[in-house]
Structure 1
Amino acid sequence: MNLQFILGNFALILFVAMVLTGIIWCLDVFYFARQRRVAADAALAAFDARNAKLTAEGIKVDNTSRQSIEAAILRQPTWIEYSGSFFPVIALVFILRSFLYEPFKIPSGSMVPTLMIGDLILVNKFTYGIRLPVLNQKVIDVNDPQRGDVMVFKYPEDMSQDYIKRVVGVPGDKITYANKRLSVNGKELAYAPLDDYLDDEKLVYHKQFTENLSEPPHRILNEPGKLTYNPDQVKNFPQHEACTYSAEQFTCVVPPGNYFMMGDNRDNSADSRYWGFVPNKNIVGKAFFVWMNFSSLKRIGSIH
């Protein structure tokens, strides 16, 4: 585990922070607070004994300082006070993002037009099963990814990076991509043309279609003139032998426990065509909602 992985793994940082603040909180509740109480009781007993002696000698005493003495001794040190304040907040955030929902920001255009750069999305962490935080080890099965799901996963070549693509092949599927058309298990998907899509950044138009990989159909983009895939970018990924490539198409049989992923912006997506399959252990969760895009509030809504 290198430093880059640690710095890039927010879940690990959050877990360490939760453990450290939790240890300090527990030590204070079960040890330091009791020690302060003992010290305060001793100081108050000495204070009361001194005042009783002075009263017996006929000297008037002032008891107003008794509470300030007790408060000063019982006061938590700053480092304990801050740790105790942060611990429940950190623990709540850790539990929410580890087992329920985790926010992500879309950094690239590989899923346009479904997801735009700058979209802030929520990912359901339990829909594909309960996993141990940090280790990402599944302990309880719930559902398996389905064709058409928009899924977040750990990039197989760098587990510190989170990728988001669409599931186009589940274990056992035979996936063929020829002439920019997908076939699943020998059946070509249906495509319906839509109005051309304007790329606001590059000011170019893309061909836009609906693809019936699942219900409801989703939109994809193609660029005329671009190859179905770039052979020079295909890597020697694990289980590469499950795929065959030719000049105009490729075919892959998805191995058990793996998934074939593609971006909806088909000609501008680095996906399973190039770096291979996504193992079950890499799954993070299912993207289901855009909760904010500061450039366009109209983006808020569910993901299809």
Structure 2
Amino acid sequence: MGKVILVTLLIVFCIRTFFIEPYTVSSAQMETALINGERILIDKTAYGIRMPITILTVPFTFGKYSSIIELPYKRIFESDVKRNDIVLFNNPLDTLKPLDKGELLLSRCVALPGDSIHVKDGIFRINERDYVCSPDVTNEYFIKTPNRKYLAEIINELEISASSTRVQADTMFLRLNKLDAFILNKSLPDSMQVTTMVDTVSNYKFLIPAKGKTINLNTETIAIYKQIILTEKGPKAKIVDNKLYISGEEQKRYTFTDNYYWMLSDNTLNSSDSRSLGFIPFKNIIGKGRFIWYSPVKGRSLSTIK
């Protein structure tokens, strides 16, 4: 009996390490594609199997390990991340821990290596084309109304999923997806419409780094890619007065050694994605969300993640 249990645990450990790993959604940032509390299966073979780095780890735990021995990063059967994949990855800013022990985050890949991103007046563009979000993507809307009871009655009557984020004077802020916002506005008078929040201040444009891509170094490119360069080159790289030095020698150009991706969560409120984390390296990517095997919402279990 003891041998059977030991063999069974070993098989499960190997499956979780190399092939399939369960993950519990612990925030609302991917709603409504994934609901807080849902349990999903991560396909760790989708982009190639990332070999363990921290080998002194207590099985079936995430936080108990020793970093005395760390193996170099290696991935076998490597495959590209696809646009719109929902991806599990280690937080690239969690640098105090080994790569494979960093904070786990789940988000949607919207831009690939070599893509251009341009944000202007609240419009998000990829390769100079407007990024079209799913109707299920949630945003913060505001509505000026002295009659909150009337608004609540309309929302309940339409069976719309809306939650109030805050109230300021006569303005109420709601979290809605685009479809529900459209339906709600059709039922409200013209003087009482929900309007999305538009950021017209944060305007920027840049390229997503691709492995083998070489860029000219100047004040602008160093500002954008500084963290990537320092992470890739380690202690031998220094940036002084907007100039890159590697092993003490000034560099005029730089070639990236990894592919990077841009992740955006479906729920734009309080989300941990590329807007706060920056570029996501391929080496940080663990796998692709495949199936929902448990959901607190009836009818969503055993369904494919989209």
Question: How far apart, in 1, do the equivalents of 2:42 and 2:164 lie?
Answer: 26
* Structure 1 residue 130: Cα displacement: 1.9
Structure with greater proportional helix content: 1
| Contact 1:173/1:253 (<8 A) preserved | yes
How much does 1:153 deviate?
A: 0.2
Q: Tell whether 2:152 aligns with 1:150.
A: no
| Distance (whole Å) between structure 2 residues aligned to residue 139 and residue 255 of structure 1 | 19
Matched, 1:247 2:201: yes
Q: How does 1:178-257 map to 2 (within 5 A)?
A: 178-190=120-132, 198-199=161-162, 204-208=174-178, 224=195, 226=197, 228=199, 247-256=201-210, 257=259
What pairs up with 1:44-59 in 2 under 5 angstroms? none
Over 3 Å counting, the alpha-carbon distance change for 1:197 and 1:100 in structure 2 is farther
- TM-score, length-scaled by structure 1: 0.56
Larger Rg: 1
In structure 2, distance between residues paired with 1:269 and 1:196: 26
Counterpart residue type for residue 112 of structure 2: V
Give the share of equivalent positions with the same residue, in percent: 29
Question: Which of 265, 286, 289 is the equivalent residue of 2:288?
Answer: 286
Q: Quick one: which of 115, 122, 126 aligns to 1:173?
A: 115
For the 8 Å contact 2:109–2:263, the answer to whether it is kept is yes
- Number of equivalenced pairs: 193
CA contact under 8 A between 2:82 and 2:109: conserved in structure 1? yes
Letter in 1 for 2:103: Q
Q: Which has the higher contact order (CA 8 A, sep 6+)?
A: 2
TM-score, L = length of structure 2:
0.55
The amino acid that maps onto 1:173 is D
Alignment partners' CA distance in 2, 1:191 and 1:259: 17
CA contact (8 A) 1:197 1:207 kept: no
Q: Which runs of 5+ in 1 are unaligned?
A: 1-80, 211-222, 229-245
Query: What corresponds to 1:101 in structure 2?
Result: 20
Structure 2 CA distance, aligned partners of 1:98 and 1:184? Answer: 34
User: How far apart in 1 are the matches of 2:123 and 2:9?
Assistant: 47
- Partners of 1:201 and 1:288 lie apart in 2 by 31
Q: Would the aligned equivalents of 1:155 and 1:282 in 2 still touch at CA under 8 Å?
A: yes
Letter in 2 for 1:250: Y
Per residue, is there more strand in 1 or in 2? Answer: 2
